[in-house]
Chain A
Amino acid sequence: MKCREIERWLTSLVDGELEFSRQKEVELHLKDCPSCQTTMSTLAEMDRVLRSDGNSPSDLEDRILHRLEGSMPHRNLNMEKRTMILRKSLMATAIFAVATFGLLQLTTPSAEAAYDRMHAAFQKADGVCISMVRALPLPIRESKIWIQGGSMRIEQSGSPTLIVRNGYQFSKGPQGLDRSVSTWSIKEVMAILDFRNVRSSSEAVESGRIRLIGTDRLTVERLVRLQIEPEELVDWATRMSVWIDQKSNLPLKAVREAYVDDRWQVQLEMRFEYSMSLPPGFFDPKSLIERS
């Protein structure tokens, strides 16, 4: 990745808002690039200064409260009244919940609960293969991630194959096998696939884009979020849709789209397969040398 591209992500990195997958790329680049290291330290210094920016006057609260005095509510509820109101409100909530629970369950399943079920099912799944095709903005680059037990094999066109086992990641190096401590785990794979970002139901609800689409065999749930891929002077909105098998709760397909040239274009598509039978030694690091 070039410095110009990296620079776009440094601000997000300083703000703690960079996607995990991108963070790895950026950190790798920073390690060997003095120019980006300088940019990074300037950004970090600017961040520190802005975040520690200014103090409010010590009597600000009192002054504000004084100014609001005439407009403040006159009711000063005592504890007894508060308890009564709380009880009434709890009772009303309970009645409402009982009256509507069945209906809610049928028509608007919680996005967060759906995500939690999917996450739990995915973590238990075995013999998983995730195929990824990136369509935009990078040239088409196919990737596959296989997961079985605690092992993973990651193949990406243009990059060395990685095998992750027992907390280490292995790849083919000039001297044979390269081994380093791995931060990859199924949890991280989920994060890389951006599922963590649809986790918050409030986020999905706030964007107002939860849609339920019925099909013949599957009930498909579509969770949509808004995100950005910053491009020089262009605002890019992207959204993620996940199709979940309601029987097994497993993700079947996920699509990330970007809003470019006044239309949604597929940026990344992922397809999931389960219970795959993989050849013996598929997750053995030695296979990286033997097969090459």
Chain B
Amino acid sequence: MQHWEQERWDRLQRGDRDAMAELVRETSAVLYRIAARLTENPEDAEDAVAETYLAAMKTLPRFERRASLKTWLIRILVRQARRRPSQRATSLDASWPAAEIDLCGNLVLAEALERLAPKLKEALILVKVGGLSYREAGEALKVPMGTVQFRVFEATRQLRKRLERPSPSVCEPEICEAEA
């Protein structure tokens, strides 16, 4: 563990308010992006992120420093997101326009992600959206690194199959033409 990370843990475990605020500033954006994809709902995503920090503050004093702060927070976030039933936003939401519009016609990402098994989806999102390495994602999901590798592969394979044949219900030609 890096020296600065050790120092950060020290400060957090001593209850340093500034350290907590710094942590929120540094990690809230990535936590939100992950939560948004896991819950498929921007409001739920924000709730999940806030609850993640609350849960983190509760467990901080007795937490053993086996993982990096980011991985630890993401592990809590995944638990928070699992408690919420996934409900995809009904429209192409403003939270992630680029991905949807770029791929409309060929890849309608949200719909395809939604159909993945939860375990596959979590691994894929942690690696691709959260930018975690397979090892870090393994720590966050409490599974071996190899399991993450397999899940990301399987998720990508299924995603690719579905995106090659987009469902007509989610990829209306007029929407694609309008976006183009």
Contact = CB atoms under 8 A, between A and B. Distances in A.
Contact of B1 (A7, A49, A202, A227): A202
A50 B152 CA distance: 12
B178 to A, nearest CB: 20
A75 interface: yes
Nearest to A51: B128
Interface string B144-168: 1111111011101101100110000
Nearest to A17: B134
A131 B7 CA distance: 46
B96 A55 contact: yes
Given A49-B102, A228-B147, A68 B32 contact: no
Contacts, number: 170
Interface stretch (A58-66, A168-176, A283-291): A58-66
A203 B102 CA distance: 38
A221 to B, nearest CB: 21
Contacts of A55: 33, 95-96
Interface residues of A, number: 56
A50 B153 contact: no
Interface of A: 7-8, 11-12, 15, 17, 39, 42-43, 45-47, 49-57, 60-61, 63-65, 67-68, 71-77, 82, 85-86, 89, 202-203, 205-207, 226-231, 233-238
Interface of B: 1, 7, 10-11, 14-18, 20-21, 24-25, 28-29, 32-33, 36-37, 42, 46, 49-50, 53-54, 57, 66-67, 95-96, 98-99, 102-103, 107, 109, 124-125, 127-129, 131, 133-135, 138-139, 144-150, 152-154, 156-157, 159-160, 163-164
28 contacts: A11-B157, A43-B160, A45-B107, A49-B99, A49-B103, A51-B128, A53-B99, A54-B129, A57-B42, A61-B24, A63-B46, A64-B28, A64-B49, A64-B53, A65-B24, A72-B21, A73-B16, A73-B17, A73-B20, A77-B16, A203-B135, A228-B150, A230-B146, A230-B150, A230-B153, A235-B150, A236-B146, A237-B144
